[in-house]
Amino acid sequence: MRLGETVAARDSYERAQGLSPPGPGRTSVAAASVDLLIVIDNEPALGPVVAALSSAAEAAIAQVTQLQPLDLRLVWLGLEAPWPQTRCDRSVAEFLATQGDVTAPSQEPAQILEILVDHGGWRLEATRAIWILGATDSDGLREADLATASLIARAHQNQVRLHTDWTPRDDTAVWNSQSRLAQSTGGLSRTLGADPTDAVALLRDALLNSCQECTYRRLVIEAPPHCYGLDTQQLASLQSTANTTSLTPGDYMIRISQGAFGYWSDGQGFAPEPWVVLWIHGGRVINKQTGVEVASIWAVLNGYGDALVLRVLEPTHLWALFLDTYREDNSGQVDISILEMT
């Protein structure tokens, strides 16, 4: 994700909505950004479904926006061809043609959906979902072909939820397969009636599921108002408290290998926690996550999976410590692994 583009897009959206940028120390809540692609098979039996959903779209969106401010991108697609006189005014192939030099490698439904997962025109900060509607006797979306490990893996990689709705069927194995596809990606799996009586609810629920947990909250940290200054005496105290080691020029991966810190001697129900504060200072280094050459770095390792990757250009020192408001009841230790990579 390109941070500059993300911040610019947020600021542009907030201005368009008449929202003022947050002042120092304040937060702003903007609409949830949601990209939803609706893919409907071209089986004639689905004609009433497509018509009902097209008519219900405005009402469904209105219901969702009453619950959650929404920045919605909704794309309607027919699997093989557009659906005349409906919102499905493009086929999947026609949509992919707008995404650059992209074509589906075959007519296999799972592979077509994999391409859509990879090339859905997804916006940087939007939550992503594809809603797949098929028919039991479809020759296009053959139900048993969809729940492939490859499609599920692609959906996880691209953070795309897959909703699956189908006309009623008697094949339990097929139903289990499609249900697994949706459940594996956090989507919905439902059965459609031949002529759905509540198309508004179908679309509303797909939208609500797609925008779960996608409202962002922005906190602006400004310099100098929010800078906590450390004077020479405080830095000297920090250096005398922390454990330290020297680093010579080279590439390093620094992480917590084992251990944790506890804070309560009288048992307050808090489990020991593996975390540590790092200060690297004294010579030029590059934090591989920022790519910026500096003479001093502050970092926090949270848990065993977190790591700081450095390129040390000049001899420097690393200090490690943890913080608490009352030192006397601290317990435990953490071991830091410093791997020099060659």
* Predicted local confidence at residue 336, as pLDDT: 94
Packing angle, helices 172-185 and 149-158, rounded to 10: 20
Which pLDDT score is estimated for 143? 47
More confident residue, 17 or 214: 214
Task: Report helix, strand or coil for 2.
Answer: coil
The pLDDT tens digits of the residues spanning 20-75 come to 444 444 444 467 789 999 999 888 888 888 999 999 899 989 888 887 788 899 99
Question: Which of the residue ranges 48-57, 234-243, 255-264, 328-337 has the most confident prediction, judged by mean pLDDT?
Answer: 234-243
Backbone φ and ψ of 282, nearest 5°: 125, -20
pLDDT digits (tens, 9 = 90+) for 275-314: 999 999 999 999 987 888 999 999 999 888 788 989 999 9
pLDDT at position 130 is 94
Q: What is the C-alpha separation between 260 and 269, in angstroms, rounded?
A: 15
At 83, is the pLDDT very low, low, confident or very high (cuts 50, 70, 90)? very high
Q: Which fold has domain 232-341?
A: Jelly Rolls (2.60.120)
Residue 102 has pLDDT above 80, yes or no: no
Q: Cis peptide leading into 82, omega within 30 of 0? A: no
Q: What is the pLDDT of residue 105?
A: 60
Instruction: Please give the distance of CA 161 from its chain centroid, rounded to a whole number.
Output: 11
At 190 the three-state DSSP class reads strand
Instruction: Tell me the mean pLDDT in the region 146-150.
Output: 72
Using CA atoms, how far apart are residues 124 and 127, in angstroms rounded to an integer?
9
Q: In this predicted model, which residue has the larger pLDDT, 28 or 122?
A: 122
Q: Give me the pLDDT at residue 337, please.
A: 93
pLDDT of 212 reads: 63
Given a cut of 90, whether residue 193 has pLDDT beyond it is no
**Domain spans, the chain:** 3-217, 232-341
Report helix angle 109-118 to 149-158, nearest 10. 10
CATH 3.40.50 fits 3-217, yes or no: yes
Mean pLDDT check: name the lowest of 124-138, 141-155, 191-205. 141-155
Evaluated on CA atoms 147, 153, 154, 155, the torsion sign reads: positive
Q: What is the pLDDT of residue 197?
A: 62
Q: How many other β-carbons are positioned within 10 Å of the β-carbon of residue 244?
A: 12
Lowest model confidence (mean pLDDT) among 64-78, 172-186, 310-324, 325-339: 172-186
* Long-range pairs of 278-281 with CB within 8 A, sequence gap ≥ 24: 278/254, 278/308, 278/318, 278/319, 278/320, 279/238, 279/242, 279/318, 279/319, 279/320, 280/247, 280/310, 280/316, 280/317, 280/318, 280/319, 281/316, 281/317, 281/319
DSSP conformation class of 228: -
Coil, strand or helix at 165? strand
Q: What are phi and psi of 281, to 5 degrees?
A: -155, 145
Q: Which amino acid is at 259?
A: G
Residue range 144-165: mean pLDDT, rounded: 82
